[in-house]
Chains A and B, each alone.
Chain A
Amino acid sequence: MFKATRHLIILLVVMSFIGGAIATAQDDNKVTFISTQFNVVEESDKARAIFEGFEDGTVEFVPSEEGPALDLLKAEGETGEGVNDVVGALHGTFPTLVTNDLMFDLTDLLAEIEAEYDVNDDFVALGKMGTEDYQYYIPWMQATYTMAAHQDALQYLPEGADINALTWEQLAAWAKNMYDATGEAKLGFPVAGLFHRFLEGYAWPSFTGGMVTQFKSQAAIDMLVFFRDQLWPYVNPESINYDFMNEPLLSGEVLVAFDHVARLKPAFDAEPENFVAFPAPAGPAGRGYMPVVVGLGIPFTSPNPDSAEEFIRFLLSPETQSQILAELGFYPVISEVDMTNLPEGVAIQAAAVLAQQNSEDAIPSLLPVGLGDRGGEINQIFRDAFTRVVVDGEDAATVLEEQGGVLQTLMTETGAACWAPDPVSEGPCQVE
C-alpha cells in the first residue's frame, strides 16, 4: 500500500515536471497583450482575429478596463514578476505607469521601426511623456473626433455653407433651421460620453486659440454665451444622456452629431449611404481638433520581452494598421498605409478625418501632458465650466474666474508646462 502511494507521488511529480516543461516550451513565443482598447466583446473578437496574423508566436489578448489594468501592472511591478508582455493604452493611461516606473525605454525599438516606416513625429514626442531620452510608449494607432450628419439634414444647411469648412455660426444656423422645420432639436453632443474632449480640443481652441492659457479670456466668455444663447437651444436636450452618438443618429433622434470616430463608426457601417462625415466647425481663432493616440509599452516584468518587441513591430506594420482601420476604426500612425480600398463607411469617415487634419486653419490640440495621474481632473474643470454656464445659466465671467482658479491650482501643483495649442512655457502653465 505504502509503496503504491509512493509510486503514485513520484509519478505525479515527474508528470508535473514534464507538464511544466511542455508549458514553458509553449510559452517561449507567447505574448500576453493587455489593452484598455477594444474591451467591448465584438471589438475584442475582431482584434483577436487580426492578432492571429502574428507569425512569430501566439498572442494572448487580454482586453481590460483602465483601472484594473493599472492595478494589475502596479502589482506586477511590486512583486517583480509578471505575465503581461505588452501594454496597449491611451496616452492618458501612461502617466500612472510612468510615475510608478514600470516601463522599458523603447528608444532602440522605435529607431528600428522608424528605419522601416515613417511614424508620426507628434505622437512619438508624446510617447516620451515630457522627457527627451525615454520612449515610454510607441504610438500604435490614432483616432480623433469629427462631425456626422444624416443625409436628411443636408437640406437645412444654411445658404453658402460648405460642409467641409463650416463655422460655428453656420452650425448654429443649421441647427436652428432643423429646429424650425422639424420642431425638434436635431443636433446632438455626447455629454454623458467624451464631451470634455469637445470642450478641450474643439470649443476652446476654435474660439480662443488656446486651451489652458486662454481658459477665462474674453473670447472664452463670448464662446460660452454663444453656446448658451445660439447653439444649446437647438441641441437635443437628451444629449445629457448620450454616450455613443451612433445610437441617436441611427434612431433619428438627432440628425447632426459630434463624437469620437470609433463611436460614430457603427452608424457608417450600418447605413453608409445615409450618413456623411465632415470636419468640426471653425471659430474665430481657427479649427481646433484633437488627435487621440494609443500607445504600446513593455513593462519591466514582461516574461518575454523579445516576442513583445516582435509583436509591436507586427502591430506597426502597414498590413496590421490597415486591418485595424478597416475593422476597428482606429487610424494608422505610420504614413505607409494604403488608404484606398477601404470599406464604404470607413472611407467616408477617413475622408473627413483627413480634411479636418489638413484644413488650412487647423489647430491641433493635444491631450493634456504632464498632469500625471491627475489628468482626469482637467476634464472635470472644463465640464463644470460648461455645465454651470450653458446648462445652469450661471454668469460666464464669474464661473470662468472660479474654474480658472481651480485650473491654475492643478497646473501649479502638478508643475505641468503648457502643451499645444498653448505656447511652450517655462515652469507650470499659466491661466491668463
Chain B
Amino acid sequence: MKKFSWTPYLLLLPSLLYLVIFFAYPMYESFRLAFQKDSAILSLRDEPDENAELGGQVKLQTIVTILDRLQLEETLPNGRIRPIFWFQVEGEDINGNTVTGWVNQKSVFIENRRTSETARVVAGEPTKEWTTDFAERMFNDYRFKRALITTLILIVLILPLQFTLAIIMGLIIQSRIRGSNIFLYIYAIPLGVSDLASGILWYSIFTQRGFLNSFLDTVGLIDKPYIFIQASNREWMIAAIVLAEVWRATSIVMVIVVSGLQAISRDYMEAGEVFGATLWQRIRYIILPLLKPSLQVALILRTILAFQVFAVVVAITGGDVLTVLANETYRWYDPARYNNANVAAVYALFIMVLSLGISLFYLRAVRSQEEASKNL
C-alpha cells in the first residue's frame, strides 16, 4: 500500500487558508447580516453593573418609568472624568409582564439624565434571531423589480454584442495580415480604463453639451442640442450604457478568445482549406466548436461582471431614474441614504445566487452537449 503523504495537503494549505479568510468567512458574515436580526431586546440587570445577573427582557422603543438613578464615574486615560448613569426602571417585558431592573444610559434615550421620569429603550443586545425581514424589505421595495429588469435587459443586450465583436476582433488579430498585431494594442486600450472613468467619458459624449451634440451641430444635422439622457428617453440611456459597457469590456473577452484561437492547431484549418471549406464554413464548423471552452469561461466571467454593473450606470444616468442591482445594494449600504447593511447584504447574496445559478447553467449546458456528442 502506498504511504500516506502530507505534502500535497501542506502545499494546498496556504490557498485554503486564503479562501477561508478572504472568501468563506466574509461570505458567512454577510449571510448572517442578511438573515440575522442583531438587536431587538434589552436585558435588564439586577444590579447597576455590566456584569450583574440578567433580569427581565424589554423590547426596543418601550417607554420605561425611572424608579431610581445612580451616577458613577470613570476616569478616562486623558484625565477627564466621565459620568456614567445607571437607571433602575420599570416597564413591560416581552411577555407583557411588568419587570424592574437596572439599565446603562447607553441603552435608553432620556431627555434629562438627572430629572426625567421616563426613558425610551433604544439599544439592546444582539439577540441573533433568524429573520426574513430584510429579504422581504428587498423584495417589497418598488425599486427591486426595476433594478432586476434593467440588469437583465443590459445582460441580454450587452453579451451577444460583446461576443460577436470579440470573435471578430480575435479573428482579425489571428488573420496574420500584415500589421494585424497592432490591432491587439488598440483593442486593449479600454482595458486600462476604469469603469467609472469610461462611464464619465460616455456621459460627456451624450450630455447636452457633449461631443455627440457638438458633432451633430457642426455637420448641421441639428440646430439645438438634443437631450439624449432624460427620464422620458430611457431607450437612449440604455443605449448609452450598452455602448459604454461594450466599449469598455469587450477587450477582456477578446483576450480570452485570442488565447483560445492560438490553441487551435493549424492542422484543422489546413485540412478545412484542402477540402474547400469557405471562410464562413471554417468559422462555423472548425473555429467555433474548438473555441467553446474559452467562450464558456468568457461567458461566465462576463455574466458575473454584468450582474455587478454599477459605475457606468450611475455615471451616465445618475442612478435614480434608471437603476441596477449593484446600485440598489449601495443605496441600502450608503450611510447617507438607507444606511441599512442588512438589506444591502441580502442584495449582495441575491446577486451571488444569480451569478452562481447562471454559471452552473452555462457549465451544464456546455457539458451536456459534449456528452451528447460522445454518444453519437
Contacts and interface: CB of A to CB of B under 8 A. Distances in A.
Interface of A: 66-67, 70, 80-81, 92, 96, 99, 101, 104, 130-134, 183-184, 191-192, 236-238, 240-241, 251, 253, 300-305, 372-377, 379-380, 383-384, 387-388, 391-392, 413, 415
A305 B208 CA distance: 52
Contacts of A305: 78-80
B145 interface: no
Contacts of A304: 78
Those 3 A-B pairs whose CB atoms lie nearest each other, nearest first: A237-B230, A192-B318, A132-B112
Given A132-B111, A192-B320, A253-B208, A377 B80 contact: no
A131 B334 contact: no
Interface in B68-87: 76-80, 82
Contacts of A376: 334-339
Contact of A388 (B142, B232, B338): B142
Interface in B18-63: 61
Contact of A379 (B116, B318, B337): B337
Interface residues of chain A: helix, strand, loop or mixed (majority):
helix
Nearest to A134: B113
A285 B318 CA distance: 32
Interface string B198-235: 00000100011100000000000000110101111100
Contacts of B77: 80-81, 301, 303
Contacts of B80: 104, 300, 305
A240 B82 contact: no
Interface string B268-289: 0000000000000000000000
Given A131-B109, A240-B318, A415-B61, 4 more contacts: A131-B113, A376-B336, A377-B338, A391-B321
A353 B251 CA distance: 52
A391 B336 contact: no
Contacts of B143: 384
A80 B335 CA distance: 24
Interface string B96-113: 000000000110011111
B335 A66 contact: yes
Given A191-B318, A191-B320, A388-B142, A184 B224 contact: yes
Nearest to B223: A183
B123 A99 contact: yes
B331 interface: yes
B266 interface: no
A241 B203 CA distance: 10
A372 B142 CA distance: 24
A236 B82 CA distance: 54
A112 to B, nearest CB: 16
Contact of A238 (B79, B230, B232): B230
B284 to A, nearest CB: 44
B256 interface: no
Contacts of A191: 318, 320
Contacts of B338: 376-377, 380
A1 to B, nearest CB: 37
A240 B320 contact: yes
B114 A303 contact: no
Contact of A372 (B112, B122, B225): B122
A67 B339 CA distance: 10
Interface centre among B111, B142, B335 (most CB of A within 10 A): B335
25 contacts: A67-B335, A96-B335, A130-B109, A130-B111, A133-B112, A184-B225, A191-B318, A240-B231, A240-B317, A240-B320, A241-B203, A241-B207, A253-B208, A372-B122, A373-B339, A374-B340, A376-B337, A377-B337, A377-B339, A380-B337, A380-B338, A384-B142, A384-B143, A387-B320, A388-B142
Nearest to B237: A240
Contact of A66 (B79, B230, B336): B336
Contacts of A134: 113
A383 B340 CA distance: 17
